[in-house]
Amino acid sequence: MKKIALPILLAMSITSPGFAAAEPTVLPLWPEGVPGLKDIGPEKNYTGYIQNVSAPTLTLVGPAVDRPNGTAVIVAPGGGYVRLSNDREGTQYATWLSTLGVTTFVLKYRMQEFGHPAPLQDVLRAVRLLRSRAAEFGIDPNRIGVMGSSAGGHLAASAGTLFDHPAGRTGNDLDKVSARPDFLMLMYPVIAMEGPAAHLGSRKSLLGEKPPLKTSFITCSAG
């Protein structure tokens, strides 16, 4: 009997019912109840994008089994605070990071339907959640970073500059855990909400047509 080549076996493992992939681990960010929950209808998923998020989550993509290094990265996909480019700027990044030994968590956060401070609350809760459960996930609580593209880059920068802001707290016991990321990875980020560098579409989605002056602190600095 001839030996079956390894590539054929791998193909069988992907296509055969007996080798179905395990369901991903999805962590709810707010098991006690989403702050300021609104009835915005069902979530929408299409061709790699997600819209109308009301139940924020983290989806775990584990490190390559032979090289876990204890680093964790929260990946915030972009999409102008209107949609999440979940496949291209979420899962794709996470899959690459896994080959480097990084434990990655793709963040599904609230957007224009809620506005500020909901996305900030979601990303800071993600940092706090992972830091509080670091041993469970085999990660170093001092090596938790946030990575984001476009509007996700703005959210990552907000996490790095507004980690201790009152708007990011909800009164839960987890607020006592530090939400400060240990590092940031900003990919072509939206980096301002005012001035010539502002991305007007993201600003409108996050802050509305006429942002009140008290939210001007959402402008982040790349430096």
- Residue 23 inside a domain? The answer is no
CA distance 22 to 147: 25
What residues make up the domain containing 79?
45-218
Between CA 155 and CA 75 the distance in angstroms is: 10
Lowest mean pLDDT among 19-33, 78-92, 139-153, 186-200: 19-33
Q: Which DSSP state fits 175?
A: G
Write out the two tokens for 27. Answer: 């962590």
Residue 31 lies in a domain: no
Residue 52 lies in a domain: yes
Residue 58 within any structural domain of the chain: yes
Is the pLDDT confidence value at 124 over 80? yes
Read off the pTM.
0.86
Q: What is the pLDDT of residues 60-116, one digit of tens each?
A: 999 988 889 999 999 999 999 999 999 999 999 999 999 999 999 999 999 999 999
pLDDT (tens digit per residue) in 6-34: 333 333 333 333 434 568 899 999 999 99
28 inside domain: no
| CATH number of the domain within which 173 lies | 3.40.50.1820
Q: Determine the average pLDDT of the residues in 167-186.
A: 97
Domain annotation covers residue 4: no
In the 8-state DSSP scheme, what is residue 112? T
Give alpha helix (H) positions in the chain: 6-15, 86, 92-99, 118-132, 134-137, 151-161, 200-207
In the block, tokens 């010539």 appear at 196
d(CA 117, CA 122): 9
How many structural domains comprise the chain?
Answer: 1
Is 136 part of any domain?
yes
Q: Please check whether residue 26 lies inside any domain of the structure.
A: no
